[in-house]
Amino acid sequence: MKTELPDALLKIAVETALVAGKEILSVYETGNFSIEAKADKSPLTSADKLAHAVIAAKLEETGVPVLSEEGRAIPYAERAALTRLWIVDPLDGTKEFISRSGDFTVNIALIDEGQPVLGVIYVPVLDELFFGIVGDGAYKVEGTSRFKSIGELMATAIKLPLKSDGARYRVVNSRSHMNERTTAFIDSLRQKHPDLEIVQRGSSFKICMVASGEADIYPRFGPTMEWDTAAGHAIALAAGKHMVKADEQGDLAYNKENLLNPFFIVQ
């Protein structure tokens, strides 16, 4: 990787994701955490809250506003005037956290003029880090805990996508959001790729799999919010992949009045 980073904010985002991930693991490993229901009936754990507090405190130092799933909802009238903001999911995959599948992530993205320009995703259980800046490249680090400094960690990162192993065409989809439209889409792919392989994973890790070349496509025909996808979107773009609306085509936009995403496809 280049020794000169195009944006100093990347180091801050990487450090923040790693610290938040370690806080999440400290809760996960004990198995002792509280669970409550949010207004949309989705679960919220004490680990979500802890990660949000860590991320909000560290990113506040950048002077860039933070829009977090677990934080204060910035009114659209205020957000609309922002050219740059962080969009964060402190713990993406809370259901996976609760079920102890390990498929949960920390998502941090920097949005500029409605587009993702920087993304960091950390997978605490695997100790894997993905990060990228659009136009500069995307990278992966395995075993982040072995490095003594963020600079050393980032200097030894592997550029994405990785070389394909020549395996079958791989479709990655959600463990918990399979539906009829997704099934029909996969069936249509099977006409071109009779021996395709379906891989089920949780959280934004699915986008990382496409960015890294471990999967060929990720179709999402179910609801997601901007904080679910922003970091992965940036990493996918930085890796030379595409993430487009499933129905109308065109790129996903961020910092919208309605933070709900359209259906999309990553490939």
Q: Is 260 annotated as a binding residue?
A: no
Report how far residue 107's alpha carbon sits from residue 70's, in angstroms, rounded to the nearest whole number.
12
Report how far residue 257's alpha carbon sits from residue 75's, in angstroms, rounded to the nearest whole number.
9
Q: Is 119 annotated as a binding residue?
A: no
How far is CA 10 from its chain centroid?
15
Report how far residue 92's alpha carbon sits from residue 234's, in angstroms, rounded to the nearest whole number.
16
Mark out the alpha helices in 61-102 (DSSP H runs): 76-79, 94-99
Q: Is 180 annotated as a binding residue?
A: no
Q: Is 48 annotated as a binding residue?
A: no
Q: Are strands 158-160 and 137-142 parallel, antiparallel or unpaired?
A: antiparallel
Q: Is 94 annotated as a binding residue?
A: yes
Q: Is 7 annotated as a binding residue?
A: no
Could you tell me the two tokens for 114?
């409605």
Q: Is 127 annotated as a binding residue?
A: no
Give the CA count within 13 Å in the CB-facing half-sphere of 95. 11
State the binding site for Mg(2+). 69, 89, 91-92, 228
Q: Which residues are annotated as a binding site?
A: 69, 89, 91-94, 228
Binding site residues for substrate, as ranges? 69, 91-94, 228
